[in-house]
């Protein structure tokens, strides 16, 4: 697995920090089944570039969290054109990453990457909880004839019997998905964006307490005023401080084993969304290793 120089990788550090906490940032800009607006193939490069502008001192934690983990960034591979082959390619990368005991952060790319990642993780855990922050349920069995579409990502994760899902910020769902959730309440918990409150964070905390959690963050989980650079921006979403409260509670109360950030579709001369995504990733790593 080839990595880039620290100065060219995520955060643009001058050198690696020697730490037993090993983190691998994995760029995988898959763009194959996106709908409405495209651009996800450019997301990893834009996120990494923006991360060089992120302040390394965290005013909330009162420290420089990057000193608590050894950060490497994988050299981005050429992604296979065939969707099935591309997903198999990603699974192989994650297999190697887990064998080397890295904490993986995957930079998508469209949301169809998540089941390919979970395919690796599910072998190592008897039970696995996925926290999905997203505007959409992504629970269709197929979309436009494709079962591996980004609109089916969470449904494909549930094909693995030891996986359950907690969806947060959902506010766009079709009838098929709504009926599927009703039939599978033991495996799917949804916290709708409308009316989300501190009480919901407490409930989520209790649901994930001491559990192994994988975090998948679709940036359209943010309100469209904050995150217009995504394929299907949705109003009525999460804002920055509320999101941090959710993440802080999850990282504090569960064992987060990895994460992906997906569906950023960078727009020319709109750097704020790239920067927001980069800072979000640094906050996740900070809560994991330096909180």
For the chain, give the DSSP string.
Answer: --B--GGGSGGG-SS----S-EEEEEEE---SS--SS--GGGHHHHHHHHHTTS-SSBTTTTB-GGGGSEEEEBPPPPPPSSHHHHHHHHHHHHHHHHHTT-EEEEEESSTTHHHHHHHHHTTT-SSEEEEEE-SB----S-BTTBTTSGGGHHHHHTTSTTEEEEEEEE-B--HHHHHHHHHTTTTEEEEESTT--HHHHHHHHHHHTT-EEEEEEEGGGB-TTT--SBSS--SS-B-HHHHHHHHHHHHHHSEEEEEEEE-B--BTTBHHHHHHHHHHHHHHHHHHHT-
Q: Which domain holds residue 62?
A: 6-289
> Is position 194 within any domain?
yes
- What is the tens place of the pLDDT at every residue in 51-92? 999 999 999 999 999 999 999 999 999 999 999 999 999 999
Q: Which residues of the chain have pLDDT under 70?
A: 35-36
> Is position 1 within any domain?
no
pLDDT on residue 291: 87
Considering its fold, how many domains does the chain have in total? 1
> Is position 268 within any domain?
yes
> Is position 252 within any domain?
yes
Tell me, what CATH number does 215's domain have?
3.40.800.10
pLDDT on residue 36: 65
> Is position 23 within any domain?
yes
pLDDT on residue 89: 98
pLDDT on residue 34: 72
> Is position 203 within any domain?
yes
């Amino acid at each position: 697995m080839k990595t880039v120089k620290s100065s060219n990788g995520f955060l643009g550090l001058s050198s690696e920090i020697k730490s037993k906490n090993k983190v691998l940032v994995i760029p995988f800009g898959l763009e194959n089944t996106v709908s409405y607006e495209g651009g996800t193939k450019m997301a990893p490069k834009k996120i990494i570039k923006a991360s060089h502008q992120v302040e390394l001192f965290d005013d909330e934690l009162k420290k420089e969290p990057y000193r608590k983990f050894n950060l490497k960034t994988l050299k981005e591979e050429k992604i296979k054109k065939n969707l099935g082959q591309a997903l198999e390619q990603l699974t192989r990368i994650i297999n190697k990453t887990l064998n080397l005991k890295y904490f993986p952060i995957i930079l998508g790319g469209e949301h169809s990457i998540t089941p390919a990642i979970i395919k690796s993780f599910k072998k190592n855990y008897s039970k696995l909880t996925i926290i999905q922050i997203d505007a959409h349920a992504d629970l269709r069995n197929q979309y436009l004839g494709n079962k591996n579409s980004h609109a089916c990502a969470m449904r494909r994760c549930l094909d693995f019997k030891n996986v359950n899902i907690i969806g947060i910020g959902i506010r766009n769902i079709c009838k098929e998905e709504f009926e599927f959730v009703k039939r599978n309440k033991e495996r799917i918990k949804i916290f709708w964006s409308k009316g989300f409150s501190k009480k919901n964070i407490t409930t989520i905390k209790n649901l994930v307490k001491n559990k192994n959690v994988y975090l998948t963050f679709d940036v359209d989980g943010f309100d469209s005023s904050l995150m217009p650079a995504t394929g299907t921006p949705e109003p009525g979403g999460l804002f920055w401080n509320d999101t941090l409260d959710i993440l802080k509670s999850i990282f504090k109360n569960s064992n987060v084993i990895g994460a992906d950030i997906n569906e950023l579709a960078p727009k020319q001369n709109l750097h704020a969304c790239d920067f927001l995504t980069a800072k979000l990733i640094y906050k996740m790593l900070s809560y994991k290793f330096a909180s």
